[in-house]
Structure 1
């Protein structure tokens, strides 16, 4: 397909038209008095939203150059959403004002590169001024207020405050669609991972189809266990001590080894449970180390020169209870050393800070929450599909806003914090007049949300 080319003022004008269209559509959702926007779908019911980035993502313009401008402004909203999870409308309004003022000055003959330099210097100064205004929030009531303002719903605010209070700041809270009409919350006690029992013969409760073992020893093995003779020495050591409860976490247990465990279970010799290890590759190794730290055990790995036949009872972890279903396993009350658990959590926090991948960061945060024992699910219910999606979206936005507030504090809303930051730009000294114009552009942009 042949490429279309436009230059200079014509190019800027057409890009600006696309930017304007996105900005005007998104700006209607600004603040607590912002309007809702209905988004048409090719299939299914329309979506009602109050979220700037959701509106921006739906906009595709017919003119390719206008569409290019629209995509550029979308990027500002999307990036803000990725980092903070909310505040996308404000980011769009600020970006739009800077583009509008910048293009005016370029048309009047200003040097675009010098304008950019001035804008960047002023934006950095204003960002620091906003951070300096931040007030830490700690109490449950303050958290409820932040969430309620974001969601425009007191019930959602109090629900999020309650959940965050229970799971702690390192906890993971997921939002799902529920079956009822209201909100439901589920808390996962202990460390849970998404792998279940290897054989239904391990089930102890036929009604719930669960395998529950109280006060078990826990063998954590990195590889597959197939040979019975590898397991027999450990089983004998346990029986000699009068211990019958054993949980095996391994890549897989099959063949003679599985037959031996099932036979001993059915005969009542051992109360045993074998579950598959979570994750894959390096992530599996890391998660097994987490389980080892939590339970006070050791990961049996040939890489570390450890063989299954040489395992001692001291290498096994301990827990108050292990519950396994077909799809997941929960370890409750691990007997690991408190200091070792804190050290492991600190290691994961450092990894989170260094990680450049959103996916890796999310998985690390999940591991941190599991070690801290803080995992919760909020189930959102509603009368219709449209209402359900809109409500779920508000809960997700409120959750993101609240997390950001707990992490970095809060500032006055309604554009007041941005107005207060304007005075900090008085200290920005630039060498060239066009750079100083860039600073003035940021000054104008900071006033835009208030208007």
Structure 2
């Protein structure tokens, strides 16, 4: 028995780790098949007339979206060799999305066009693939430089709203909402997207800092029929210590008394005896004071309290020793404090260190680049809003979960596009900016290496694809659209929503320069790698054995086994 079981174990192990290896044209053909499927799925969403994509979700209703990165993340092919091509193309969209948050569909279309042409060249005979790759990369750099040279600075809220409208597939109401928020918050505005409890979308701009913790005792209340604390010109004590005895915070209380200013205490924990003593001082009018527990727990609490202290011009005191040696400089000063049973709102800090706040913001932005989940990004956005002292929340409404999810995808793209446009400028939209880069490539001196020149030509030909795809999705003749746009100059291009040729900037059809540059560089990088691939190694597909029990069969079928 042992020997037989041992043989079975060895045979199973060998089958589990067997590899499928494909070479040359066959390998590249399988990769290209996956690239085509991925690109066709994603490109359907491009432009104002782009189509919707329905995505199956296990056990719940399908998801509907026009967001390129969402579509790309859900493409998974059964053939592992083809799937490798699809996933390489998805890497293009992911890199572009991580870098600028927009332009993912454009990057996919460009990468597919370059990869298809590159593989076709290699199929025709012996080619120096490294020279081909260098030619593609050189041409992409020239295009990026040309895009930057034609870029124009965003100067008005109307231009901000134009960028948002394009990213929102023509939804003017939502783009106006973003424009209003930018007008109130400025260029560095921090946005959060949350689901609304009603059908309508709503924008709430919050000034100051709000903490999700209220007073530790309702007896601190002095306004609103005993349910709210309101103080002006308030001293702020921020500490991670557990305050067990009144004498630990006596120096801070004496400072507040001598300055005749209210004191807000935010601490990790405050004992019942200390709370009772503070309330008695409040009721006897000896001292205006309120105590609040610090938000969150552990390392997250430390991060949030450090952000709060920086934003309010205070020093975060780590323990009881710091409390006993407190100085006036350790206390922040806040113009207005409003505290109720569930939240604490701090308005307009009087003093804070701009350099330290800027360094902290840069640190949080670095963390956002490494964040994996949307929840992590939202928390980091909240922290950044706390440092800036203002925050805009868009509550996304809809008739059902599908509508809300699709709208959130578009809003997220629009917000990234707006921030990118403000920082890097804008260029004509509708694929026109890429067409205007063609003369820059044609003006380059011919390369002595044929493959190098072919690589340049591949990129030049691919520059037509975004405009071609937008026109095709709009149901018009794409070749005729490209011909007329190339005959024009500057901002002249095609408005696919209205079906007219016009000055695109005047019409508000613009793209963020950074998004187009990132899409080009990422597409050229991935496409040139695909063209230089010679071998594919994949795992052999192993179908799991499903028991014959009918209930188990049904469950297995439900999850695709």
Q: What range describes the TM-score normalised by the shorter chain of this pair?
A: 0.7 to 0.9
- 3-state SS of paired residue (2:47): coil
1:28 corresponds to which residue?
Answer: 44
Q: 2:174 aligns with which of 156, 164, 169?
A: 156
3-state DSSP of counterpart to 1:299? coil
- 1:77-116 CA distance string (max 9 Å, x none): 1222222222211111000011101111222222332222
| Contact 2:98-2:369 within 8 A present in 1 as well | no
Count the aligned residue pairs.
Answer: 445
Map of 2:239 onto structure 1 = 221
Structure 1 pair 281–382 and aligned structure 2 pair: CA distance change class (3 A): closer
TM-score normalised according to structure 1 size: 0.88
Post-superposition Cα deviations, 1:9-67, rounded to whole Å, max 9, x if no partner, equal 22111111111111111111121122222222223222222111122222111111111
1:134-145 to 2 correspondences below 5 Å: 134-145=151-162
- The secondary structure found in structure 1 opposite 2:336 is strand
Counterpart for residue 329 of structure 1: 344
Structure-2 change in CA distance of 1:132 and 1:328 (3 Å): farther
User: Conserved in 2, the CA contact under 8 Å of 1:193 and 1:278?
Assistant: yes
Matched residues in 1 for 2:298 and 2:401: separation? 39
Tell me if the contact between 1:195 and 1:328 (Cα under 8 Å) persists in the aligned partners: yes
Contact kept, 8 Å, 1:178 with 1:381, in 2: the verdict is yes
In structure 2, the CA distance between the partners of 1:188 and 1:113, relative to structure 1 (3 Å rule), is same
Q: Structure 1 residue aligned with 2:204, among 154, 179, 186? A: 186
| Counterparts of 1:361 and 1:431, CA distance in 2 | 49
Q: 1:363 to 1:430 in 2, by over 3 A?
A: farther
Aligned twin of 2:556:
none
* Cα offset, 1:316, TM superposition: 2.2
Q: How does 1:401-440 map to 2 (within 5 A)?
A: 401-425=417-441, 426-427=443-444, 432-440=449-457
CA contact (8 A) 1:166 1:374 kept: no
1:38-117 to 2 correspondences below 5 Å: 38-108=54-124, 109-117=126-134
Structure 1 residues 297 and 18: alpha-carbon distance in aligned structure 2, compared to 1, 3 A threshold: closer
| Structure-2 separation of matches of 1:8 and 1:162 | 55
Cα deviation, 1:234-293, whole Å, max 9, x if unaligned, reads: 3244335544x2101223323643443244345553332222345667776665455445
Q: Given that residues 381 and 388 in structure 1 are in contact (C-alpha distance below 8 angstroms), is that contact kept between their aligned partners in structure 2?
A: yes
CA distance in 1, matches of 2:445, 2:467: 23
Q: Classify the secondary structure of the residue corresponding to 2:467.
A: coil
| Aligned with 2:323 (options 308, 313, 336) | 308
Q: 5+ residue gaps in structure 1?
A: none
* Residue 222 (structure 1) shift: 3.9
* Structure having the higher Rg: 2
Write the distance in 2 (CA, Å) between the matches of 1:428 and 1:262.
Answer: 82
Normalization by structure 2: what TM-score?
Answer: 0.72
Contact 2:311 2:386 in 1 (8 A): no
Does 2:291 match 1:274?
Answer: yes
Q: Which has the higher contact order (CA 8 A, sep 6+)?
A: 2
Provide closer, same or farther for how the CA distance between residues 45 and 230 of structure 1 changes in structure 2, counting only shifts above 3 A. same
Report if aligned partners of 1:225, 1:252 keep a CA contact under 8 Å in 2. Answer: yes
Instruction: Give the aligned CA root-mean-square deviation in angstroms.
Output: 2.9
